[in-house]
Structure 1
Amino acid sequence: MKPSRFATLLASGAASALFAVPPVHADEGMWTFDNFPAAKVNAEYGTDINQAWLDHVRGAAVRLSVGCSASTVSDYGLVLTNNHCVVGCAQNLSSSDDDYYTHGYTANGLSEERKCPGMNGEILMSISDVTNRVTAAGAGKSGSDLVKARNAVTSRIEEENCGDDPKWRCQVVNLYHGGQYKLYKYRRYSDVRLVFSPGVQTAFFGGDPDNFNFPRYDLDSAFVRLYENGKPVATPDHLVWNPAPPKAGEPVFVAGNPGGTDRQLTVSQLETQRDLTLPITALQLSELRGRLIRFSEESAEHKRIAQDLLFGLQNSYKVYFGRLFALKDESFMAKKQAEQTALRQKVAALGPKLPKDFGTPWQTIDTAQSSVKAMYLPYRFVEGGPMGSELFGYARELVRAAAEREKPSADRLPGYADADLPRLQKSLFDEVPVHADLEEVTLEFWLSKAREYLTADSPETKLLLGKESPESLAARLATSKLGDPAVRKALYDGGMAAIKASDDPMIQYALRIDPEARKLRSAWEEQVSGPLTTASEKIAKARFLALGDSIYPDATFTLRLSYGKIAGWTYRGTEVPPFTHFAGLYERATGHEPYKLDPRWIAAKDKLDLSTIFDISTTNDIIGGNSGSPLINAKGEAIGTVFDGNIHSLGGNYGYDAKLNRTVAVSAAAINEALRKVYGADAIADELTGKHKPS
């Protein structure tokens, strides 16, 4: 469940605050590692989770910069994740002659492990509380002034603790929507190399029809390796690999980085999502998907270069459609209204314990929704930019980096402080293929939709198009030379003088629209994010007065731990068992896409143990971003990797249903069997069991 590359705009359209206090059901929660309910879990499941166990799992968990989770599983930096988390890497390493996205990749030794452009791996080393310092910085401020003050203090905290050393990353994390601010310090690895991918045909067997469904027959697993100074990183605290068949009912844990949840929104915020942001997002994803399908049908090469972006669009569309379906459920919305009413009553009962300036934060949030509705479309198209355009992304980063680096570090926009520059430079300087034909499609779509939604007479449309048509402007911008990392590096090193002197059409375009994009950003901070920050912090403090921190915070793409058990579910009288097996894969195969088997699996059928458990259903509470998270048993061993949820889990953005929400993982047993008997990757399988040192 990789977080959508388009999720940021949706989230910004309905920024969350802590309002609802539903009861926490069994197995519910994406808990921080410094507030995990170990005593409750041990009592319920008979486990022995202690601080040493938590420290070990935390030290093995990896956050990947592609929006996924992972874990170290050998002494030599070998990392387990999902195939769909490395398909971007496989696509970038591919050519018309070698399509690793489709057919996969197996490295025969360290010399064949290939660097994934733009990918970082991060391991969380420590968590510390910086709440008082962050909240003090915003005291007495509101609107954009509050946002700027908070940005400045978080930048200073991050730089004081990590500096500009590329081996470290510090991140001040907003938890409980202002109730707490924690400093997360990560060990960062910028050299991540592809070791094994089974290819999309096997990892995504069943395609879109089976996506977010169960039973599943997907080997959605992959391995990368962390390197430093040209050598594999030593990772002695890795998870022990356990390929033994898992058992129904056994307790399991998921350590990963859920991308974001909106379980604590007000009813008015949910209505904004339901009536504005979700329909627009889903519709545009659907439309762009159609254009890319048409583009893919034009030639084999078009199909190859569009397949990764198309996969992301299809997955995101299904996610947002599922969320919209949940918010249109009247009983669900009535439940949310009841939860909000209950919390307001609890807060009102605090009386004199509340701060004197508590005011009416719920009304503040409701008022801010009017600003969201008025500003969302201009903000989305101008500040948000096009979906899927690498060239525009590079140009925006270069133009803003040039402007921001002329300011003191603490005064810069988020993402441009000195501590952030190593990551920014890696994303700009790594070599990633850019395809002009595909760029033209995404740019034309963005520009045409801007004119359609904003109207031809709006100042934003005139800013974006000038006197040109979407078609002619997209064609011109797609001739940009920013696909060349050497060009990007020269512009970055040259600063604003080089940016202004550049004749690159995309650089000049980004430079022209950036002043208005910044104005929209500032207005958004003044009228939306600033007021929401103030109001959410007031309610968070009131919540702590009433309940403490006995409830987990919304997800923030930072490390969390969920607990549960291996279990199926019953829906409309039909019982869904928790396991699938290799035999079912062959029964499901039809010979036609998306149920067409990789020839290697056809050839290996007689060698395989068809009773091998393939995919697993569990009660763990997850969301997008948990993709690649290890599925861990009570001993702290890796028994699989999470890659999806069932169809009922799509509403998990707003709440957890213990009866229906399920996590889906591929078993270590299946991965082990496939490595040895399908892919001939015995060296990887032996490394997992400690019998082989890579060379």
Structure 2
Amino acid sequence: MKKIWVFLLLCSVSMGAFADEGMWFLMHLKRLNEADMQKKGLKLTAEEIYSINNSSLKDAIVQFNGGCTAEIVSGQGLVFTNHHCGYGAIAELSTPADDHLTNGFWAKNLGEELKPKSLFVRFFVRMDDVSKRILGLVNDKMSEKEREKVINQEIAKIEKENSEGGKYVVSVKSFYQGNEYYYFVYQDYTDVRLVGTPPNSIGKFGGDTDNWEWPRHTGDFSIFRVYGDKDGNPAAYAKANVPLKPKHFLPISIKGIQEGDFSMILGYPGRTNRWMPAAGIDQNVKFAYPAWVEASKVGMDAMKKYMDKDQAVKINYASQYSGIANYWKNRQGMIDALTKHNTAATKGKQEATFDKWANKKENKAQYGDVVKTINNFYATTNEKARHDNYLIGMLRSSTFAALPANLGGALKQYAASNEAKRAELLPRLQTIATETYEKAYLPLEVDVLADELNLYAKKAGVIAPYIAELAKENGGNFQSYIEKAFASSIFGSKATLEAFLANPSAEAVDKDPLFRISSALMTKYRESTPETEKLNDDFQAAYRKYIAGVLASNPKGKYYPDANSTLRLTYGTIRALPADPRNDAKVNNYTTLKGTIAKYKPNDEEFDLPKRLMELYETKDYGRYADKAGYMPVNFLSDQDITGGNSGSPVLNAKGELIGLAFDGNIEAMAGDVIFDPVLQRTISVDIRYVLFIIDKFAGAQNIINELKIVE
């Protein structure tokens, strides 16, 4: 969809300065992108980026733990990704006595590397188009359920055919809302160990205040290593495992960057909605996102109160809190950007143009009612979207909003079982009990659930009936009721859950106060009626036809599908924003350590700095990592088209050398998940020279530096 939508043209930006839109499939680079990329400066061929038969850049790019991107940077399986991507694993491995989040961690040898309980990387092997095979089995006379059943059956066959007996993970994905299908073959490695991380005061410098903002001064990186068996195959964690020897790893360039340099990013963008209709944008801006923001803030405030008082609580909830905070600011930024740029109106004009084409005589039978059906769906579901986002905010913040309902069925099955069956079920239930309560802080959980229920009952409209009853009985304030519920519930502590396992009763589960609350919430969350199912089916069919119609109306267009956590390439240039007095850089496309020190606030949670870093700044002891102009670079800007999931993605120069790690976008272009802004779109990355400076000069981890192929 190579269309240019210009929302705001800053006076200091020339009319010719546009970012390159598109998250491109690697298998299509030769046909769609190679010539354009080489014209812009790329020194590689499409085959050197993506090859099935030979090693290529794609072999060094991995999906990290299902939600981020990472890259292989040594012949011994060393992995770079963002600090915030490794945050959960780092937190898991931390204790108040050995706090890697606060103090950082640097393994001096393989034996010191730390294995979190669950962490994996996914290598991309190959992909192929199976659209004709799948779509040849369906037709417009089928209902959506019939269509889905046929498609899913064929997907299962394709995945089995290409898994080579379980060696590979195969995933068939839908694109263009079900108008195309591709399969992807992956290989997963689950023995992934922590090698190094800077302290929070570097890796998360700026905190929520600077999140999504520029200028940034964040050392957002962490280091892991992939292990396999002696033959290089995936293997469960074992001391006998050895570092993986990858097919390809990225050389690292410390030559520096200049405005206008070609650069590209390979990664796993999570989700975009570039085809979203105008009414869907309006629904998000006016109904869904405000509820998400408010519910997130309520949960964050309840957590923070306890996290500030107790370091153990802070460590145990750090990852969950960080995830909620990230999307809290993201959604508010989306509201502001989509409103400011009047995005719904822009989309509405496009749909009006399409509707005229759709209602021409030759198109009317296929596409005539598409826009009308789409608009009816959103008008009918606006209030539901508001409700659902208040409820989703509660489920993201509160462990006990969902857990009792999800676990209750298993407990009732356990209670109804004979002695032999109970013995079979017991170990799994005991594990759940341990994992649930091991790091849970119940006073925090009480307040989070009570505060979220207060908000839900007050703001969410037509809520779960049982919750409405409780709200009426308690004057809209759930605090006292939830305190008593935890005190008397099977789920109130590990001890009470274990006591239930020793003397189980299905009736006790059904009467349990937390189970009743949780069941009411989850029933409402999963609520469906024949009317809503038909409304949704009609919408899905209309949305699919809308996209098919847009493609058909301009068959020579250069299109790319929405992001859906599949490997993509995006390219552009190193590109500044207009001059900013807050940035000491000569060109507003990078930041410096001088700027980092200028933000320093002693003992501040977001802007404190390690003494060692400030000493290095005072002595200008930057080693070989300083820019040729003398400053120590920290972050930089480029204009690639990225989104969530690209966190940790490698930023590569024209030769395919690593120059940075992407970690954020700028808030001015926050509407980018819905509509691309060629003027404001920026990617914020940590300069690889800062990464190496922290590893080498700050941490003294020369063993890590020695593994890398550094190009000077």
> Which letter does structure 1 place at the counterpart of 2:289?
L
1: CA distance between counterparts of 2:141 and 2:433? 38
Deviation of 1:304 (Å): 3.6
Q: Residue 111 of structure 1 aligns to which amino acid in structure 2? A: G
Q: Tell me the residue number matched to 1:566.
A: 574
**Higher radius of gyration, 1 or 2:** 2
Pairing 1:500-649 to 2, within 5 Å after superposition = 512-513=519-520, 516-517=523-524, 520-521=527-528, 526-527=533-534, 529-548=536-555, 550-570=558-578, 577-593=588-604, 594-605=606-617, 606=619, 607-609=621-623, 611-649=631-669
The superposition leaves residues 371-397 of structure 1 with CA deviations (integer Å, 9 ceiling, x where unpaired) of 322433554566886113445566666
State the 1:682 CA deviation: 0.9
User: Relative to structure 2, which stretch is displaced further, 89-98 or 393-402?
Assistant: 393-402
Query: 1:217 is paired with a residue of what secondary structure?
Result: coil
Deviations along 1:619-676, one digit per CA (max 9) or x if unpaired, are: 1111122110001111111111001122212121222222222111111111112111
CA distance in 2: counterparts of 1:664 and 1:595, whole angstroms = 19
Aligned counterpart for 1:369 among listed residues 370, 375, 378: 378
The residue number in structure 1 matching 2:48 is: 52
Per the alignment, do residues 514 and 602 of structure 1 end up closer, same or farther by CA in structure 2, a change over 3 Å counting? closer
Moved more, 31-40 or 340-349: 340-349
Query: Shift of residue 523 of structure 1?
Result: 5.8
* 1:468-489 deviations in Å (ceiling 9; x for gaps): 87446655459767998xx99x
Match of 1:260 in 2: 271
Matched residues in 2 for 1:107 and 1:603: separation? 23
Could you tell me how far apart the structure 2 residues matched to 1:678 and 1:50 are?
38
The answer (yes or no) to whether the contact 2:59–2:249 under 8 Å persists in 1 is yes
Q: Deviation string for 1:550-590 (max 9, x for gaps)?
A: 12212112211110111212279999521222333233324
Tell me the CA shift for residue 507 of structure 1: 9.5
Per mean C-alpha deviation after superposition, the further-off stretch among 581-590 and 170-179 is 581-590
State the Cα deviation string for residues 226-269 of structure 1 (Å, max 9, x = none).
Answer: 22333222213122222332333211111111221222211111
Tell me, yes or no, if the aligned pair for 1:117 and 1:430 is still in contact at 8 Å: no
Trace 1:268-283 onto structure 2 (pairs within 5 A): 268-283=279-294
Deviation at 1:196, TM superposition (A): 1.1
Q: Deviations over 1:582-604 (max 9, x none)?
A: 33323332435233211231343
Q: Name the counterpart of 1:423.
A: none
Instruction: Provide the alpha-carbon RMSD of the alignment.
Output: 3.9
Distance 1:388 1:57 in 2: 39
Instruction: Indicate conservation of the 8 Å contact 1:170/1:184, yes or no.
Output: yes
Q: Which moved more, 1:599-608 or 1:619-628?
A: 599-608
Structure 2 residue aligned with 1:28: 21
Shift of residue 501, structure 1, vs aligned partner: 9.9
Contact 2:85-2:648 within 8 A present in 1 as well: yes
Partner of 2:249: 238
Percent of residue pairs bearing the same amino acid type: 24
Instruction: Give the C-alpha shift of residue 225 in structure 1.
Output: 1.6
Aligned-partner Cα distance in 2 for 1:585–1:211: 15
Q: In structure 2, the residue corresponding to 1:116 is in which secondary structure?
A: coil
C-alpha distance in 1, partners of 2:226/2:511? 36
User: What residue in structure 2 maps to residue 196 of structure 1?
Assistant: 196
Amino acid at match of 1:140: K
Q: Which amino acid aligns with 1:530?
A: D
- Does the CA contact (< 8 Å) of 1:619 and 1:661 recur in 2? yes
- Alpha-carbon contact 1:179-1:537 (below 8 Å) kept: yes
How many Å separate the matches in 1 of 2:221 and 2:5?
Answer: 35
User: 1: CA distance between counterparts of 2:473 and 2:303?
Assistant: 27
Letter in 2 for 1:234: K
In the alignment, the residues of structure 1 paired with residue 492 and residue 88 of structure 2 have an alpha-carbon distance, to the nearest angstrom, of 19
Bigger shift: residues 456-465 or 267-276: 456-465
Give how far 1:515 is off: 8.0
Shift of 1:125: 1.3
Closer, same or farther: CA 455–666 of 1 in aligned 2, 3 Å: closer
| Cα pair distance change 1:455/1:253, threshold 3 Å | closer
1:93 is matched with: 93
2:445 is aligned with 1:439: yes
Equivalent position SS for 1:27:
coil
The amino acid across from 1:32 in the alignment is F
Question: C-alpha offsets along residues 336-363 of structure 1, whole Å, 9 cap, x if unaligned?
Answer: 22233333445556x53x4954341111
How far apart, CA to CA, are the structure 2 residues paired with 1:378 and 1:618?
38
TM-superposition CA deviations, 1:37-96 (whole Å, max 9, x none): 222222233544322223322222111235211111112221110001111111111122
Are the equivalent residues in 2 in contact too, given 1:94–1:101 (CA < 8 A)? yes
1:404-431 Cα offsets, whole Å, 9 max, x none, are xxxxxxxxxxxxxxxxxxxxxx999989
Moved more, 145-154 or 223-232: 145-154
After superposing the two structures, state which structure 1 stretch, 79-88 or 375-384, moved more.
Answer: 375-384
> What's the offset of the Cα at 1:464?
8.8
Answer yes or no: is the 8 Å Cα contact 2:273–2:562 preserved in 1: yes
Task: Tell me what 1:673 maps to.
Answer: 693
Which residue identity lines up with residue 533 of structure 2 in the other structure? E
SS in 1 for 2:397: coil
What SS is found at the alignment partner of 1:178?
coil
Deviates more, 1:634-643 or 1:99-108: 99-108
Structure 2 Cα separation of the partners of residues 356 and 290 of structure 1: 53
Is 2:358–2:368's contact at 8 Å kept on the other side of the alignment?
A: no
Amino acid aligned to 2:550: R
Answer whether contact 2:403 2:518 (CA < 8 A) is retained. no
Gap regions ≥5 residues in structure 2: 7-17, 229-234, 413-430
Structure 1 unaligned residues grouped into runs of 5+: 1-17, 404-425, 492-496
Contact 1:30 1:562 in 2 (8 A): yes
**Match for residue 420 of structure 2?**
none
Structure 1 position 325 matched with structure 2 position 367: no
Q: Which moved more, 1:628-637 or 1:49-58?
A: 49-58
Structure 1 residues 481 and 237: alpha-carbon distance in aligned structure 2, compared to 1, 3 A threshold: farther
Contact preservation (8 Å) 1:114, 1:194: yes
Instruction: Say if 1:388 and 1:454 are closer, same or farther in 2 by CA, change over 3 A.
Output: closer
**Equivalent pair of 1:477/1:505 in contact (CA under 8 Å):** no
Question: Measured at CA, do residues 499 and 119 of structure 1 come closer, stay the same or move farther in structure 2, by a change above 3 Å?
Answer: farther
| Amino acid in the other structure paired with 2:61 | A
Supply the distance in 1 between the matched residues of 2:152 and 2:227 (Cα, whole angstroms): 32
For 2:304 and 2:331, how far apart are their aligned partners in 1? 19
Q: Amino acid of the residue matched to residue 696 of structure 2? A: R
SS in 2 for 1:552: coil
Residues in 2 aligned to 1:149 and 1:499: alpha-carbon distance in whole angstroms: 39
Superposition pairs for residues 142-181 of structure 1, below 5 Å?
142-143=143-144, 146-147=147-148, 150-151=151-152, 153-162=154-163, 165=166, 168-181=168-181
Select 2:467's aligned residue among 441, 452, 461: 461
Aligned pairs, number: 641
Alpha carbons of 1:457 and 1:559: their partners in 2 closer, same or farther (altered >3 Å)? closer
The answer to whether the 8 Å contact 1:101/1:199 transfers is yes
Shift of 1:459: 1.9
Q: Contact between 2:253 and 2:710, CA under 8 Å: does it hold in 1?
A: no
Structure 1 residues 320 and 235, CA, compared in 2 at 3 Å: closer, same or farther? Answer: same
1:645 & 1:401 partners in 2: Cα distance?
43
Q: Any conservation in 1 of the 2:302–2:444 contact (CA below 8 Å)?
A: no
Matched, 1:251 2:262: yes
Deviates more, 1:675-684 or 1:224-233: 224-233
Aligned residue in 1 for 2:183: 183
Report the CA distance shift for 1:27/1:518 in structure 2 as closer, same or farther (over 3 A). Answer: closer
TM, length-normalised to structure 2: 0.79
SS in 1 for 2:578: strand
